[in-house]
């Protein structure tokens, strides 16, 4: 027995290696685990009494892939060590897994649960693979989602089992295989009931007298064809290259590296192919995208999901009954996700019809899930039974938490706050789902402002993963802890920010479409602006985003800011564009059927032709790179200001909130990661140049200049 494996030898001479990492809820690949595995391979290969081995898991999952903190550490090494050393460290996985294939003894993987990334790769290195008959099991290589490629043989062995055409979507998109699909593609040999899994794996080891992988046999050919001269294969790569550029716009380097590794590797013997794969893996580790994506999308998001910002001295709580004030789109979505999480929900509106319509939103979503086989009729009915549509504030008696989701009007919000607090228990927490109104101001209508907090959802609630928790000046730790516990119950990712106008996400997100409007006013081509936004890594073009969110809403936010700030308000070139579209043209966005785009009934949306008349094109158009920089830097500088003003207090929350809240370019790792990658001093210099050309909205704050002088970065400083 080692620290992470148990070793059992049966009477037939089959060794059972059971992986069970201590102090981990899931098995992951660590360097210690790899060292132990290699010693076990050597032991099995050198002992004549051992005929072969079965690798399985002592946990419900088989193996969830590599420890991402280990990969992050490897990425850090790349900044200070020679490339050759980084390559050898990366190749270590391939070296050990290749040892399984060539040790002379047959190995089988008994997949009792999820096998992702390195978990599937260690299975592919085994001579046999058997999976439990469980539809919940997923087998996949998702490394592309963190800016990497499968670096332990995945790009080479999967192709040699499935063929190039079949394997590429699973490699390039990080898609998962079900057990049935894995059997159909020949990725695993058999699917058996869970209680027969180990027996079937041992049987296959006993029957194997050669212990040779198909690709090590003379005359092996990749299924479906191989080589640069095979017409079918050439067509696959040509089409894949075109589709890749269309889907990624060259923003993400990992898919291109995967395609190249498969193209080159599938034509040569496996040992050469594995070195090709490791070279491409190393090239990605040397780039900032992988390190930034791993840190933000997985490490920091994982910490947020575990409630890293939760006050430690407050007892954990569970929301059993939730009150939702306002049954519009946001309130209806909040009711749905809460009822789905097992809570009793009181959904209240001014009329019974309005409340019932809010409940019917859940009906539509659940019916769709039933049709698609995602849930049963009984479970769907149980969720609906937990939502009570009402107009009676008395029904709120006994709720643990209130979430107010009425119109963005201080008077209306104050009215419902008073009515709800008149009946809810003294210990209940009151939260507002406002996206822009200051929580401290809203709390003035409350008789218990210390129990008043902001819980800001994003639309549509059921799809968007982030929730922004806003702490007012009087909000206490109990309210914060309860809000975070609630977000965890509904399985969303929380960030914690301090109160200010627009908070964090709304304030910073708004800079993306308004900067595009400023460019319009300068005579920049709207099509160029939209494509540059996508090529910068944003999920949607900035003018399309303005239409989706509502141009009228942006105008109202602008007007409210002007009224609140008075002489301190700094106008933007976008202000005139907003006034034109809302007050003169009546083009308020997608909901009205016209905005920066036209939305013909039954047709495809397209940029409004009238833009050319309202904003004649300048003779000299900027480059795509210039527009990309302006769009990203304008958002990043606002995020930096929020950090300097302590609206957001942790770089991790800033970056997680940006990517999961408003779709900031994921390949950067988030706005503050982008600044660190550029270099704070360089970013400050470039922003000062932009400020000279386009105005003070690009001016870097004093604290950022101080960081530049001290040669500090956000993450090292934090």
694: left (phi over 0), alpha (psi -120 to 50) or beta: alpha
d(CA 639, CA 636): 5
Closest to 349 in 3D by CA, of 338, 340, 358: 358
Residue 646: half-sphere exposure toward Cβ, Cα within 13 Å? 3
Contact 340, 361 (CB under 8 A): no
State phi, psi for 321 to the nearest 5 degrees: -130, 130
Q: Which residues of 421-441 are buried (b: 16+ CB within 10 A; e: fewer)?
A: bebbeeebbbbbbbbbbbbbb
d(CA 239, CA 18): 42
DSSP structural state of residue 275? H
CA distances from 140 to 115, 158, 166, 322 (A): 7, 10, 13, 38
Contact 513, 549 (CB under 8 A): yes
The greatest distance separating any two alpha carbons of the chain, rounded to the nearest whole angstrom, comes to 87
Place of tokens 């929301």: 319
Instruction: Provide CB contacts within 8 A for 246, sequence distance 6+.
Output: none
Contact 172, 112 (CB under 8 A): no
> Residue 460, preceding bond cis, omega within 30 degrees?
yes
Geometric angle at alpha carbon 57, from 53 and 61, rounded to 5° = 145
**Which helix (H) or strand (E) element contains residue 47?**
none
Cross-strand partners of 432: 404, 454
Strand order in the sheet with 176-177: 115-116, 139-140, 176-177
d(CA 119, CA 116): 5
Contact 479, 506 (CB under 8 A): no
d(CA 156, CA 443): 59
Contact 287, 367 (CB under 8 A): no
d(CA 414, CA 447): 11
For 315, the token pair is 């007892």
Catalytic member of 36, 404, 421, 468: 468
Q: How far is CA 158 from the centre of its chain?
A: 25
398 CB burial (10 A radius; 0-12, 13-18, 19+): middle
Q: Is 468 a catalytic residue?
A: yes
Contact 427, 445 (CB under 8 A): no
Length of the chain: 718
State phi, psi for 351 to the nearest 5 degrees: -130, 155
For 218, the token pair is 């003379």
d(CA 494, CA 492): 6
Strand ranges in 21-174 using DSSP code E only, listed in sequence order: 52-57, 107-111, 115-116, 128-132, 139-140
- Catalytic positions, written as ranges: 468
């Amino acid at each position: 027995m080692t620290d992470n494996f148990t070793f059992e030898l049966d009477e037939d001479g089959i060794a059972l290696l059971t992986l069970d990492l201590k102090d981990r809820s899931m098995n992951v690949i660590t360097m210690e685990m790899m060292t132990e595995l290699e010693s076990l391979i050597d032991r099995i290969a050198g002992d004549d009494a051992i005929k072969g081995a079965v690798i399985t898991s002592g946990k419900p999952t088989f193996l969830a892939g590599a420890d991402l903190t280990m990969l992050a550490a490897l990425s850090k090494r790349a900044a200070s060590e020679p490339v050759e050393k980084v390559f050898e460290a990366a190749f270590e996985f391939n070296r050990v897994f290749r040892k399984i294939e060539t040790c002379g003894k047959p190995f089988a993987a008994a997949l009792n649960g999820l096998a992702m990334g390195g978990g599937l790769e260690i299975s592919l290195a085994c001579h046999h693979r058997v999976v439990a008959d469980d539809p919940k099991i997923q087998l996949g290589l998702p490394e592309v989602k963190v800016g990497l490629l499968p670096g332990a043989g995945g790009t080479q062995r999967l192709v040699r089992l499935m063929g190039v055409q079949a394997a590429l979507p699973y490699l390039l998109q990080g898609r998962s295989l079900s057990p049935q699909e894995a059997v159909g593609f020949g990725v695993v040999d058999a699917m058996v009931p869970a209680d027969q899994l180990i027996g079937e794996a041992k049987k296959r080891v006993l029957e194997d007298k050669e212990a040779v992988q198909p690709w090590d046999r003379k005359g092996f050919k990749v299924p479906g064809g191989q080589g640069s001269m095979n017409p079918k294969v050439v067509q696959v790569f040509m089409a894949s290259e075109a589709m890749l550029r269309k889907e990624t716009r060259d923003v993400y380097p990992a898919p291109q590296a995967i395609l190249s590794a498969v193209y080159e590797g599938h034509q040569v013997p496996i040992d050469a192919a594995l070195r090709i794969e490791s070279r491409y893996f190393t090239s990605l580790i040397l780039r900032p995208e992988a390190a930034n994506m791993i840190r933000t999308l997985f490490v920091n998001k994982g910490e947020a999901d575990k409630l890293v910002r939760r006050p430690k001295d407050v007892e954990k709580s569970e929301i059993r009954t939730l009150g939702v004030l306002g049954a519009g789109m946001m309130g209806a979505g909040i009711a749905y996700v809460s009822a789905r999480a097992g809570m009793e929900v009181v959904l209240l509106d001014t009329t019974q019809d309005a409340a019932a319509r809010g409940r019917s939103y859940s009906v539509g979503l659940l019916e769709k899930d039933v049709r698609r086989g995602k849930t049963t009729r009984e479970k769907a009915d149980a969720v609906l039974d937990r939502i009570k549509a009402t107009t009676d504030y008395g029904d709120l008696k006994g709720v643990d938490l209130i979430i107010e989701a009425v119109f963005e009007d201080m008077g209306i919000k104050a009215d419902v706050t008073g009515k709800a607090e008149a009946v809810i228990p003294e210990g209940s927490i009151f939260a507002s789902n406002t996206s822009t109104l200051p929580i401290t101001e809203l709390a003035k209508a409350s008789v218990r402002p210390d129990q008043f907090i902001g819980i800001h959802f994003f639309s549509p609630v059921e799809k968007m993963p982030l929730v922004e928790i806003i702490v007012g000046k009087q909000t206490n730790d109990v309210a914060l802890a309860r809000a975070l516990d609630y977000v965890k119950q509904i399985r969303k990712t929380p960030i914690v920010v301090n109160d200010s106008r627009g908070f964090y996400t709304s304030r910073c997100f708004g800079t993306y479409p308004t900067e595009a409007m400023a460019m319009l006013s300068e005579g920049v081509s709207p099509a160029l602006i939209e494509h540059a936004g996508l090529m910068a890594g944003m999920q949607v073009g900035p003018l399309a985003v303005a239409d989706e969110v509502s141009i009228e809403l942006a105008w109202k936010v602008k007007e409210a800011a002007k009224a609140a700030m008075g002489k301190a308000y700094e106008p933007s070139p976008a202000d005139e564009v907003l006034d034109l579209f809302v007050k003169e043209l009546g083009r308020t966005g997608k909901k009205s059927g016209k905005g920066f785009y036209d939305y013909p009934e039954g047709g495809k949306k397209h940029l409004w032709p009238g833009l050319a008349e309202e904003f004649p094109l300048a003779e000299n158009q900027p480059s795509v790179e210039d527009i990309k920089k302006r769009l990203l830097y304008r958002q990043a500088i606002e995020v930096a200001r929020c950090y300097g003003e302590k609206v957001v207090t942790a770089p991790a929350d800033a970056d997680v909130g940006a990517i999961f809240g408003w779709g900031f370019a994921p390949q950067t790792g988030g706005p503050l990661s982008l600044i660190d990658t550029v270099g704070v001093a360089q970013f400050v210099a470039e922003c000062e140049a932009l400020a000279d050309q386009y105005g003070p909205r690009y001016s870097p704050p004093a604290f950022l200049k101080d960081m530049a002088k001290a040669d500090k970065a956000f993450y090292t400083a934090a």
